[in-house]
Structure 1
Amino acid sequence: MGPAARGQRRQAREGTGLIMSTIPRIAMTIGDPSGVGPEIAVKILSKPENRDKALVSLLASPEEVESLAAEFKVSVPLSDVAKQGYVHAIGTTYDGPAAKRGVASIAGGTRAMLDLERALELFKQDQADAILFESLNKSALHNAGMHEQDELRWFARILGYDGFTSELNFIPGLTTSRVTSHVAIKDVAAGINARSVHDAITLLNRVIQGTGIERPKLAVCALNPHAGESGQFGREEIDHIAPGIRLAQDEGVDAKGPFPCDTIFIKARAGEYDGVVTMFHDQGQIAMKLIGFDEGVTVQGGLPVPIATPAHGTAYEIVGQGIANDTPSQRAFDIATGLGRQTQEARVAAGNEQE
């Protein structure tokens, strides 16, 4: 590529704000429209500090946003383009019957899925650096046609991504990843090997770095009681987990273990570690929800695009009352912003290398 062509590409990127701006672009959905997601979304976007630190494209119509804002007595300035200080309400491709509030429905699940698909398209078209979605209902999604074991696998299929993925769970001061996730307990051991342990460690390290911690301190859980007692209670720690840790250490990751999972979260809660790698779903989730249930955030880790969501459900029973806690969504917004900035920087770096 000659100097003239490189200059044209640089000018084009500057026109999109990728070089001149460090403000990440967030594609945001209201989640299941029957739940508390819509009301929480307008509350989050009514805060000037949020509109200042990200360019938000919301998958809702201007009329929908204005109606919700009026109902919950907040103000959400709208713009026809993604613009700092405003919200770009880009509408939804869903054109079916309105979903009834407070109940799971095919209409609600279909709207949620279509909005997520549109958000993924915005990322593919280089119009978003991260995605934030409000809470979903798995029954509604299943009835609407989502048959994967969870949203993470659905995202991977839609994106055509077959690399390592893991849900990451955030509470203030601590993040976890999983080597295995939504599988039966009897199948957990078969999913643990040196490579999968390494991948869960390096993914967690990379995501925590995206939140601003340059060199995260990570702990890795054992699978068996007492970390296997030198092989007396199983050899997974010796044959798979410790080798996976060494692979990550060889790449410069500050990871230690394997530690007995019944004590490591005590040290993590005290601040000795920024993240913990767990071997299966409840090994980490029980601890995380005991420590910080009302502040949890989930990140769909490993995908080409950062995707964050509050860890709570749709809370159908309190829809419309204006009492839904927006703290998890605020934290999800902050995390999506940080990870989106990381994505933006990587895209700029890749573009510069191509020149």
Structure 2
Amino acid sequence: MSINKPRIGLFIGDATGIGPEIMVKVVAQRKVLSNCFIIGIGDHRVFRLGQKIAQIELEYPVYDDIAEVDSSKGNFVFLDLKNLDPKKLILGQISPISGKVVGDSLKLMVQLAISKRIDAVVYAPLNKEALYRGGYPFKGEIGFFAHLMKVKDGYGEMNVLGELWTSRVTSHISVADVSKNITQKKVLAAITQADSTLKRAHIEYPKIGVSALNPHGGEGGLFGREEQKTIVPAVQEAKRLGINVVGPYSADTIFLRISTEKLNAIVTMYHDQGQIAMKLMGFSEGVTVNAGLPIIITTPSHGTAFDIAGKGVANPNALKEAILLATKMASWQS
């Protein structure tokens, strides 16, 4: 194995969900390991449980200290944190114990990335409620990561499906609170974040489409004035900054413009406005990028799938895509 390959830290995710299973299934695929060196991170007992569920046995070195990891031993090794006994958990149920371990483990991974022990962080699905109840008072992991790295603004989630990226102005808030949070400053921030992130992904002059908030783009104010008051001025300001941006386009047609307008990214106004479209187009392949942070962090766009946890039927493709994207991004930065 070449020591020049990106070192990807791969966390097992919430142990009560499908994370251990899909991690095993991904590691078993040679294509995933061909361009990177993966350090699996978590409790090894949980990873062994994942192998049992997936009915796949893997051979790999296990380490207690990352300083001892030998990258010449193959393309995959496991760093055993010894921090979670799976016998204390019930698959498919929210566990504050598992949530705390998730928070503790991700905190460690951020430290490893900042200290250059790993080149990117990839994690299998976690459960936000479990994380919160486990002692990490954040509504989502992006806020948690920003807190750890003391990033105050300019960060947010981006979703990737194939060559299409999406960003959003608001995220994990009540639908009732969306409109009052659509400000010119926040719309412009989402556009500039999309532009800078895609340029980091080696797309030199990305074309970004911006979605409207109201039906039919507000119909000149008949159905709402957010477009006129905030979204259009933000788009105009982004153009003055040299960003290749178009819109706002009606939310019910903007995804139809991907090919006709050759869009690289779409900025939506709220969570489900973009996520419904992305998951319809490729639920099992979508990736979330925690953008605007000093390190690379990716994860599948889907959740812990408690309803099928332990059944051995989980699809690992989104986790695979998260690893492949993180590998590309790490290679671009090297």
| TM-score range normalised by the length of the shorter chain | 0.7 to 0.9
Q: What secondary structure does 2:220 align onto?
A: coil
8 Å CA contact retained: 1:173, 1:274: yes
| Alignment partner of 2:75 out of 86, 91, 94 | 86
Structure 1: how far apart are the matches of 2:290 and 2:139? 14
| Range 179-188 or range 85-94, more displaced | 85-94
Pick which of 55-64 and 304-313 moved more: 55-64
Normalising by structure 2, we get a TM-score of: 0.86
- Alignment of 1:45 onto 2:27: yes
Q: Deviations over 1:67-126 (max 9, x none)?
A: 644663243533752627422322226256743333222222122111111111112212
Q: CA RMSD in A?
A: 2.6
Counterparts of residues 249-328 of structure 1 (less than 5 Å): 249-268=239-258, 272-328=262-318
Shift of 1:210: 4.2
The answer to whether the 8 Å contact 1:245/1:255 transfers is: yes
Equivalent residue, structure 1, for 2:324? 334
Say if 1:194 and 1:241, in contact at 8 Å, map to a contact too. Answer: yes
Shift of 1:60: 2.7
Pairing partner for 2:224 from 214, 218, 234: 234
CA spacing shift, 1:60–1:182, aligned 2, 3 Å: closer
1:11 matched to which residue of 2? none
Measured in 2, the distance between the counterparts of 1:235 and 1:340 equals: 42
Whether 1:29 aligns to 2:20 is no
Q: Secondary structure at the match of 2:307?
A: helix
Q: 1:135 aligns with which of 117, 125, 139?
A: 125
Q: Which amino acid aligns with 2:239?
A: Q
* Conservation of the 8 A alpha-carbon contact between 1:57 and 1:82: no
Change (3 A) 1:163 1:341: farther
From the superposition, tell whether residues 271 and 40 of structure 1 become closer, same or farther in structure 2 (CA, over 3 Å): farther
1:103-182 correspondence to structure 2 within 5 Å: 103-182=93-172
Partner of 2:65: none
CA–CA distance in structure 1, aligned partners of residues 233 and 145 of structure 2: 30
Q: Which residue number corresponds to residue 224 of structure 1?
A: 214
Q: Could you list the per-position Cα deviations for residues 245-294 of structure 1 after superposition, in whole angstroms to 9, with x for gaps in the alignment? A: 23333343221011111111122266732211001112112222222222
State the TM-score, normalized to the length of structure 1. 0.82
Which is worse superposed, 88-97 or 271-280? Answer: 88-97
Look up the SS of the partner of 2:122 in the other structure. Answer: strand
**Higher mean C-alpha displacement, 60-69 vs 86-95:** 60-69
Q: Distance in 2 between matches of 1:26 and 1:82?
A: 14
C-alpha distance in structure 1 between counterparts of 2:143 and 2:323, whole Å: 22
Provide the residue aligned with 1:5 in structure 2. Answer: none
Q: What is the letter of the counterpart of residue 9 of structure 2?
A: A
Rate the CA distance shift 1:66–1:231 in 2: closer, same or farther, 3 A. closer
- Judging changes above 3 Å, is the alpha-carbon distance between structure 1 residues 61 and 294 closer, same or farther for their aligned structure 2 residues? closer
Equivalent-residue separation in structure 2 for 1:305 and 1:155 (angstroms): 10
TM-superposed deviation, 1:29: 0.6
What 5-or-longer segments of structure 2 have no aligned partner? 63-67
Instruction: Rate the CA distance shift 1:74–1:210 in 2: closer, same or farther, 3 A.
Output: farther
- Alpha-carbon offset, residue 169 of structure 1: 1.6
- Using the alignment, how far apart are the partners of 1:139 and 1:59 within structure 2? 22
Paired residue secondary structure (2:313): coil
SS for the counterpart of 1:229 is helix
CA distance in 2, matches of 1:156, 1:333: 21
Report the alpha carbon displacement of residue 244 of structure 1 after superposing the two structures with TM: 1.9
Q: Quick check: 1:165–1:301 contact (8 Å CA) kept in 2?
A: yes
Moved more, 224-233 or 123-132: 224-233
Question: How far apart, in 1, do the equivalents of 2:201 and 2:95 lie?
Answer: 36
Q: Partner of 2:253: helix, strand, or coil? A: helix
Structure 1 residue runs without a partner (length 5+): 1-16, 346-355
